[in-house]
Structure 1
Amino acid sequence: MEHKALSSILRYFAVRDGRLLIGGRTCAEIAAEVGTPFYAYDLGVARKKYERLRAALPDEVEIHYAVKANPHPEIVRFFRDLGCGFDVASAGELRVVLDAGANPAAVGFAGPGKREFEIREACRAGIGSLNVESEAELELADRIAGEEGRRLRVAIRVNPAYELVGSGMKMGGGPKPFGIDQENVPRLLARFPEWPNLGFAGFHIFAGSQNLRAEAIVAAFEGALSAVASFLPHCPNAPELVNLGGGFGIPHYAADNELDIEAVGAGLGELLERHRPEMPRTRLVVETGRYLVGECGVYVCRVLYRKESRGQVFLVLDGGLHHNQAACGNFGQVIKRNFPICAPEKIGGEPVEEVNLVGPLCTPLDRLGSKVEMPRLDAGALVAVMVAGAYGFTASPRSFLGHPEPGEAVVEPPRRQGRQG
């Protein structure tokens, strides 16, 4: 069966003589420099994804990069240079963004459990918005801003009364630790005169992530803008910004089709025409991480052993769960399904056998792929797990069982390089 996700992702990469190129270099060349296993991020692919998203969205909509997807400093600087704002979820991410030279006014800080020192750092940095997620956080933020002698800009993160249908992870709707329930927002807006050290900046509404259905994302945006419209009579001042979240998915599994981001942009444009008279000077923001960097990353392992067990072939690799938890199905999957996997030195070769790809850990959870169709590979061959640019290196239990850390390489191809061979 055709793996639609793999076919879709490979269109963003160059291939030469049957070898996958990452930033113009083969996996074997990168492995010779950094060893295996390694993550490699092709900024040429990230640039293509950004340019496609930018072209699809209405011009007035700003793009924020969600740092939690991949906080590598070179990637953060890359998106800074493209003009993106940033969304962070910890003081650590905030420091990465500020160290990269980002404008603090273009930074939003979300997360349901911000600690006092994190709010204090955000206040001192003068970020664009602290996206508050509870009444208690508003009280704490006002106290800290007063102690710092500053006025802290805050946005209300709303737990909407709807869910993003078809999302991989639901971040809103129903009882949630994220945000303030939509029905309670008017009451809190009325309390802003009690918080003299807070400036009301606007709203943050993020219903869910990893959605491949354009109509569902547009419906979520419609729900968000309608909710904001209902809040307007209660706001202490006109909202300066509305962060609509994102939820833009990328194909991971065999049957996945690529998200029609152009349809998302067209739908959002129609919604803005309808709602613009209600909030003529409000800035609209979408935040996304996975859509921008997920497909630019490749996790490459080397075959240590080839073995057979009761009629099945196992390729034992030098990397696995401890480096790429998501690909092993332990990061949000209910049923384990294979990520796109290929032999990067044999692209386009006809599959000749079905293999199980397992890592070196002493646990049955350490399985990158089950019954994957691959050309024959022996010890020393390379295996590439695609869609490894988001929630890979930093989202995995790298200290588990004391194995070595994977390498990381950030590369960008020469301009005008195309797909060949």
Structure 2
Amino acid sequence: MKPNEHIARFGTVDGELQIGGLPLSRVAARVGSTPFFAYDRGLLDERVNLLRSALPERVELSFAMKANPMPAIVQHLAGRLDRIDVASGLEMQTALDTTIRVDRVSFAGPGKTPAEIRQAVAAGILIEVESGTEFRRVLAAGDQLGLTPNVAVRVNPDFAVKGSGMRMGGGPQQFGIDAEQVPAVLREYGTAGANVLGFHVFAGSQNLNAAIIAEAQRRTVDLVSSLAEHLADPLRYLNLGGGFGIPYVDKDRPLDLDVVAANLHELVDGPIAERMPQASPVIELGRYLVGECGVYVTRVLDRKVSRGKTFLVVDGGMHHQLAASGNFGQAIRRNYPVAVGTRAERASAEAVTVVGCLCTPLDLLADDVDLPTSDIDDLIVIFQAGAYGLTASPTAFLGHPAPAEVLI
């Protein structure tokens, strides 16, 4: 998608990009300093409404908090979605501080500490066990607390999802219990004092290919259907994962949600209803829910020309928005959509490179991009910044202040 398409999605006011209906300069004045992350509440609601209208009514929507654990966003989504998934003790506490019911919170991820497990058991949270060791720790916590833990088994499937930005299933994985080992694990622990509700299969993330996502969902339903035969009680929790991607660079094309939705309707009305009638199908999304509602805003501190190349030096950088910089040079770097927020309606007039304030050439936010002519104090906007931005970046690197976050 082109930057102009992102500008159109947010809209403009008085020639500036708008966030939540306010001109960007007013948002910056309210925040009081740059850089900052701003999230548009209206766009967030639009995405939730889009999913609700497209997906089967029976499908429950879960927010993977790891994508953006800002408390205001979590609070906002808690009143609009069916579930929240957490991956740490701090995220668990953030979820418990919302109005969502505790039995609608799930806790996934390898390496849960015994203290976190006890906290989850005490709260009544659904724990998605990733190993036999975790299962034993959950049972021990239940014994110590005099409670029956709620458990789902996270399964490492025997298939991989092609086209995912990050593969999280198939082959050897730190995530989940290998599918072929699940029956033995259930025989050993499944009736030992836990309420085993079902399974979670998450095969990959950031996928823009609807056909591949649909195939993964079909294979997941077949796999879980066979594993459900080893449960002591009927399967009630069927987490199909998510993996819905968003476009980050020019060549990316948005996910065709209609194709994914049509496949889910067939699965819900067909094999799920026939083989697992008591199951609640869950789609767990993070990036797809919040990624496109957010921008990273940083101010031009200096404009300089070095041997014919124009640089805009800004007060932000990779310590806040690591992914846009190329993840410390570990990936092939491509420009995220970028705009001059204070000149959003002006035509591009020059090629510039936007760099941050850190002492490394890796601190690169946009390389050789066409933008309107910009100067000191203009606000540069990086789009697609609502997911895996601030909390997925090395904020302590070089000791610069943390940016603000606002939901408007």
TM band (smaller chain): over 0.9
1:186 — aligned with what?
183
Please report how far the alpha carbon of residue 8 of structure 1 lies from its aligned counterpart in structure 2 after TM superposition. 4.1
Counterpart code for 1:136 = T
| Structure 1 residue 301 displacement after superposition | 0.6
Describe the SS at the equivalent of 1:345.
helix
The correspondence for 1:241, drawn from 212, 230, 237, is 237
Q: 5 Å matches for 1:214-229?
A: 214-229=210-225
Which residues in structure 2 correspond to 1:12-411 (within 5 Å)?
Answer: 12-34=9-31, 35-127=33-125, 129-192=126-189, 195-196=192-193, 198-275=194-271, 276-330=273-327, 334-411=331-408
Calculate the TM-score normalised by the size of structure 2: 0.97
Secondary structure of the corresponding residue to residue 354 of structure 1: strand
Distance 2:47 2:324 in 1: 21
Separation in structure 2 between the aligned mates of residue 278 and residue 331 of structure 1, nearest angstrom? 47
Q: 1:171 to 1:332 in 2, by over 3 A?
A: farther
The corresponding residue for 1:416 is none
Matches of 1:294 and 1:193, distance apart in 2 = 37
Code of the aligned partner of 2:258: E
Q: What is the identity, as a one-letter code, of the residue corresponding to 1:116?
A: P
Unpaired runs of at least 5, structure 2: none
Change beyond 3 A, Cα 1:92–1:287: same
In 1, Cα distance between the equivalents of 2:29 and 2:56? 44
Determine the C-alpha separation between the residues in 1 that align with 2:284 and 2:149: 21
- Which amino acid is 1:236 matched to? A
Number of residue pairs matched by the alignment: 406
Matched residue SS, 1:75: helix
**1:96-144 deviation digits (Å, cap 9, x = unpaired):** 01112221110110011000000000001101x2000001111111111
CA contact (8 A) 2:200 2:239 kept: yes
Report the Cα distance in structure 1 between the residues aligned to 2:302 and 2:168, rounded to whole angstroms.
Answer: 41
- The residue identity in structure 2 corresponding to 1:167 is S
**2:204·2:243 contact (CA, 8 Å) conserved in 1?**
yes
Q: Could you tell me how far 1:5 is from its partner in structure 2?
A: 4.6
CA contact (8 A) 2:67 2:387 kept: yes
Taking the aligned partners of 2:214 and 2:329, their CA distance within structure 1 comes to 23
The whole-number CA distance in structure 1 between the counterparts of 2:45 and 2:179 is 36
Identify which range, 345-354 or 159-168, moves more after superposition.
345-354
Which letter does structure 2 place at the counterpart of 1:119? I
The C-alpha deviation readout for 1:303-333, integer Å capped at 9, x for no partner, is: 1111111221111000001111111111896
Q: Which runs of 5+ in 1 are unaligned?
A: 412-421
Q: Distance in 2 between matches of 1:364 and 1:193?
A: 53
C-alpha distance in 2, partners of 1:17/1:26?
Answer: 7
Aligned amino acid, residue 106 of structure 2: G
CA drift at 1:194: 5.4
Amino acid at match of 2:88: S
Aligned residues of 2:322 and 2:392 also touching (Cα < 8 A): yes
Letter in 1 for 2:356: G
Q: Quote the Cα distance in structure 2 between the aligned partners of 1:376 and 1:285.
A: 47
- Cα distance in 2 for partners of 1:311, 1:172 equals 47
Q: CA deviation at 1:300?
A: 0.5
The change in CA–CA distance for 1:333 and 1:284 in structure 2 (over 3 A counts) is farther
> Root-mean-square deviation (CA), in Å?
1.4
* Contact in 2 for aligned 1:315/1:355 (Cα 8 Å): yes
Does the CA-based 8 Å contact 1:325-1:395 persist in structure 2? yes
Deviation at 1:12, TM superposition (A): 2.7
**For the residues of structure 1 that align with 2:300 and 2:334, how far apart are their CA atoms?**
21
Cα distance, 1:164–1:353 mapped onto 2, change above 3 Å: same
Quote how far apart the aligned CAs of 1:30 are: 1.6
Alpha-carbon distance in 2 for matches of 1:332, 1:143: 44
- SS in structure 1 at match of 2:322: coil
CA distance in 1 between partners of 2:345 and 2:257 (Å): 28
Percent same amino acid among aligned pairs? 46
> TM-score, length-normalised on structure 1?
0.94
Answer whether contact 1:168 1:332 (CA < 8 A) is retained: no
2:341–2:378 Cα contact (<8 Å) kept: no
Q: Deviations over 1:268-316 (max 9, x none)?
A: 1112222121001100001101111111111101111111112211110
